[in-house]
Amino acid sequence: MEEPADSGGGGAAQGPMAQVAEIRCPIAARPMRLLEWKVKPGSLVNVDSVLALCAPIPPEKESGSHPPEQPNRLSEKKLKSDRAGVVKELCCQLGQVISPGVVVVRVEECSHPIVMKGLLYTRTQTNTKQQALISTANVSMVHSVPELMVSSEQAEQLGREDQQRLHRNKKLVLMVDLDQTLIHTTEHHCQLMSNKGIFHFQLGRGEPMLHTRLRPHCKDFLEKIAKLYELHVFTFGSRLYAHTIAGNIVEANPEF
């Protein structure tokens, strides 16, 4: 079982790029006995990192009149962080009963707004450092580069810029499904069929060969719709599948 921790108000700022936040025992949780720390001061933690293992106190034991018992390992709960940062202070002792709302850990956050594959990024930084785990970047904005993460503030700014660009171009965004709308894909290729207009590809070694063809009038549809809309596609298939199909369509129709 897992218990996401609650965060309290931040403490004193530690310079322009960092602030200290308090991570508390969840208000909705039962009192818990701290069994084991999974972090120490200086540890890097991310959202959902396990901070500690705890054992819930049964209601009949909360009065404290009974001696502590050996905890049942099956009933352990994982106390998790709800933010990224560097652990500054462990605020409870092993064996201590932690009540809801009690501060468990203090974490120093970092406000770097952009992260790429776990590395910090700023416009003036050329030598990135492996400290991006303490960034506030947690929003993926580019579906073709999911590793690129930005902060909520940066995401809102980029969203406004996208909106302004669409207004300037007098276009709306149109979402179109790939399969059975733009294309048809199958693993079973009929040898008697013409290969004209069919993409043959694999998504990886050992993966089945896929055969994709544009549906009737798809090219005409895309040519006309591109003048009115910014086109985005979605699929229940994998990201690699979507990118491969989109790449093949653009390669075969560079005017898009």
Structure-block tokens of residue 77: 């709960």
The tens digit of pLDDT for each residue in 3-50 reads 556 655 444 334 445 688 899 988 877 899 999 999 999 888 877 889
CA angle 205, 207, 209 (to 5 degrees): 110
158 pLDDT band (50/70/90 cuts)? Answer: confident
pTM above 0.85, yes or no: no
Query: What's the first-to-final CA gap in the chain, in angstroms?
Result: 50
The tens digit of pLDDT for each residue in 183-197 reads 999 888 777 666 777
pLDDT attached to residue 199: 86
142 pLDDT band (50/70/90 cuts)? Answer: low
98 pLDDT band (50/70/90 cuts)? Answer: very high
CA distance 22 to 24: 6
